[in-house]
Structures are given as C-alpha cells and as structure tokens.
Structure 1
Amino acid sequence: MPAEREDHFLGLEQARLVGTEALLTTRDNIEAVIGAKAMMCAYGASGYGKTFAVNAALRVLAPNIAYRLELRCGPTPRDIRHGLFKALRLPGEPPRRPIEFDELLKGVLSEQFRVLVCDEAQWMGRTAFEYWRHLWDDRQTDIAVVFAGGDNCYKVLRREPMLTSRIFIWQEFTRLPKSEVRQIITAFHPIWATADPGLIDKVDADAAHGSFRNWVSITRHLMDGMKKQHTEQVTEDLVHWVYSKIGGM
C-alpha cells in the first residue's frame, strides 16, 4: 500500500481523513469482503474518493496483507501477471510462458491470505476481468479482490453473468451530498474552518460539484493565494482568483 500522505491528491498538506458516509460504508464492505474472501467492485465517476476510501479501509483492516496494482490502459492478462509479480515483490525474473507464470502466482497466492486491489479497473476489458476470476476461482489461491474504477468497470462486469455472479459487494461512489458539504469540508482542511458557510456552498455549486478531487485542487490554489496575500482568511476575491486558475465560474 502507498504511504497515507500519497492518498491525498496533489499531496495536500494538512488534509484530514473525514469519516464520510462513503468512507464508513467502504470500511464495512471491505471487512465483509475480507471475511468472505470474496470480490468487490467500488465504482463511480472520477474524483469521488474511491481509491482514497479503499486505501484508508485497508490500512485499518489489512495493513500487512493488502497489495495494490496499478495497470496501464487496456491491460491484458500478461500485464496483470507482471503487475502481480511486481506488487508481490517476487524474486528473480518473471516466467516467460503463461502456464508457468500462472502456476507461480497461484502457488504464491496459496501461501497466505492476501487482499489484492486492482485500481483504475475501468481500463480493463472482459479478458482482463476473466483473468482475475480465473485466479480467484482456483482452489489453491487464498485471496480477496477489490476492484476500484470508473463506471465502465461496472458496465463490463454487469454484461458478463459469470463475472457478475462472483462480485460479493457492489459499492457506488457519488458526489458529496449538498447537505453535508459544509460539515465535511470544514473538517477536511483547516483553511475552511473559519470560512463563511455560504461561500463554501457557493464554491461547491460553482466549481467543486461534490468532487473531493476538485475540492483538493481548489484548496491547494487557495493556500498559494493566501500565502501570497499574507492572509489566513478565505475570501470571495481569493475564490474568484482560484476560478481563474481552474476554469471555474
């Protein structure tokens, strides 16, 4: 798993972990998936906190047995094999023949229980998902699998009954609820703690649109602007200066 600070987009300093409904639900779901040694799909549009929530939950529930893969666009089974080889830090050189490679991976994945996290799963097609099913179905392996990706991974999985039937939990990530934005954002970063609540609502409506990633970008720009102006207060003028940087209103 990556360092906790790496979870925050742009490495935002002073950002805090906020116990949102989505984060708490993710922890409950992953706990259930680990208990059942099953597969889960966390999906939704970009910037809604899927990777963040999954990483945060696994640091609590499976800190020493979780392995995260990041795959290139359009990954093949070969890419997944090599991704697992790297994530598991296996010694030597990867086997050249697929049969030998699969036997190696299955042997390693049978030695102890592990949670395998496939991030950016929206890039995978049917063949790649089928390869994960092949590993999980094998009687030797002792694994749980968490897919985290955009809507496309949900669509691909739902089109294939054999894959769909093996997903134990589906969790959709959506925008931050408007009714909770003030509370969440003031807890998320200290620069918002003294900001006018109405201004927070306006920033969400104008530019953030319920996306944590958008809020991180806005906050980072605001920190730069506040430093230049030697102020500790978020103002409407500063917010409009940020909009000029990000293309907001």
Structure 2
Amino acid sequence: MRLADAQVVSTRALLAARENIRAAIEAQAMICIYGQAGHGKSFAVNASLRELAPKLTRRIQFRARPSTRDLRHELFYALGLQGRPPAHAIEFDRMLRGALVEPRVLVCDEAQWLSKLCFEYLRYLWDDTDSALTIVFTGGNGCFEMLLSEPMLESRVYAWQEIGRMPLDEVLDVIPAFHPVWSEADLIALCDQEAAHGNFRAWAKITHHLTVGLQQAGRSRVDEELLRWAYSKLSSRQAA
C-alpha cells in the first residue's frame, strides 16, 4: 500500500518462517507455509528469501487450475531458460531437470490451486537424484488440506508452518515499531479488539487510513474519534 515510514517488524511468525526456510534450503527440502488471508505468510516468505536466497529464488503462481503443460511453461519462464519451450513433454522434462541441477528455491504461491497432476510433477522434479531444488509451498484457504490429501507429496514435506493472527501481547509489542503513527497512541488494544483482530493486513490498512486522516485534519496524534473513522472503512466482515 506504499505506506510511508512503515518498517519491517520481526513478528514471531516471520522469525519462525525464516528459520524454517533456512533449514529447508540447507536440506534442499519441501516446506509448506500457510494461513488465512492477511496474516502475513507471503510477506514472511518474501522477506526471508530476500535475506536468505535472493539470487536463487524463483516464483510461480496460478489463479486457476493449471495443467502440467501450464506448469512446465511457467517453470520454463521462471527459470529464465533460453530459446523456445520444447514441443514434446519428454524433451521439456529433460530441459527442466537439467536446469534444476543448479540450486534453486521455487516458491509456489497459492498452492491450493495446483492439481494432483501438478503436485505429482513437482514431486517428480524434486525426486530427481541430480536435483538441487527447494520448494516452498504457500497458500491460504485449502492449501494445507490440499497438500495433506496427496500422501506421496505430504510425506516429503520437511516442515509445516501455519501463520495465524497475532495475539494481543504481540500486537502491543510490534505495532508501535511498525509505524510511527502508533508510537504515542494508547489505543492499540482497542483497535485490535474492535477491528484489526491480529490481522497484519488490517493493521496496514488502518494505519494507511490514519496517516491520510491525520494529514487531512491537520492533527499530529491519533485519538479515538480518528481511529474509529479509520477502521470504519474496513469491510464489516473484516471488522467482525
């Protein structure tokens, strides 16, 4: 949201994700980091990989059920392979396996959209004896259940991490460090109880509305009236 003056804060979930990803890269393993929307899973994964493996990381993402042909082509472009994608599957597979001899970290975002055949194909690439591939599956609703329903894949997952809502004690600790608008506010607990509910995306949106409101009103500090104005802009579902 291009939130000026916002800072990356080391939540417990982010620190755990960093450690899980570090261990997975060392073991060239598969891991799954999942959770509901807005809890910070994608941010935790991206921030960790920017630190741990910025040059090795490649990302793929689908918004609808892809075929294995779609997956091959997405991998072709994500890996930066030269030339045209091979016309025949056996040639395509040979090319991808050859590319994955070099260490790579593949992030499969919104993994719940992958089909059984796509999961089988990723397992096939990872199982190759010459592969140096680490796979990070991330996703929201249904991601955990989808991977769990594939026994051959589930048995190979090195670590599972669910990223949930921040508890209130953590909110009180990290939100003042997240943005200076909260540095003197004594309304953090109220905001979390009434609107944010430990959801970091909700906190970011509320903070953005507050910075706009402070500027428009010519104020320097947050008060209860401005706070409620800010989170009145969230959907009723988020505020429930």
Residue 43 to residue 95, structure 1, CA distance change in 2 (3 Å): same
Instruction: Give the TM-score normalised by structure 1.
Output: 0.90
User: How far apart in 2 are the matches of 1:97 and 1:219?
Assistant: 51
Instruction: Give the TM-score normalised by structure 2.
Output: 0.93
Residue in 2 that maps onto 1:140: 130
Residue in 1 that maps onto 2:121: 131
Within the candidate set 203, 217, 226, 1:215 is matched to 203
User: How far apart in 2 are the matches of 1:147 and 1:13?
Assistant: 30
- Identical-residue share of aligned pairs (%): 51
| Structure 2 residues without counterparts, runs of 5 or longer | none
| Structure 1 residues without counterparts, runs of 5 or longer | 1-9
| Within-5 A mapping of 1:32-43 | 32-43=23-34
User: How far apart in 2 are the matches of 1:229 and 1:88?
Assistant: 49
Q: Does 1:66 align with 2:57?
A: yes
SS at match of 1:11: coil
Question: Alignment RMSD, CA only?
Answer: 1.5
Q: Does 1:247 align with 2:238?
A: no
Tell me the matched-pair count.
237
8 Å Cα contact 1:71-1:83 kept in structure 2: no
User: How far apart in 2 are the matches of 1:122 and 1:188?
Assistant: 30
Partner AA of 2:124 in structure 1: H
Within the candidate set 85, 99, 116, 1:94 is matched to 85
Residue 194 to residue 165, structure 1, CA distance change in 2 (3 Å): same
SS at match of 1:168: strand
Q: Which moved more, 1:175-184 or 1:95-104?
A: 95-104
Q: Does 1:204 align with 2:195?
A: no
Provide Cα deviations, 1:11-51, integer angstroms capped at 9, x if missing partner: 32221111111111111111110111100000111111111
Within the candidate set 87, 104, 115, 2:95 is matched to 104
Q: Which moved more, 1:37-46 or 1:137-146?
A: 137-146
Q: Which moved more, 1:93-102 or 1:209-218?
A: 93-102
Residue in 2 that maps onto 1:236: 224
SS at match of 2:169: helix
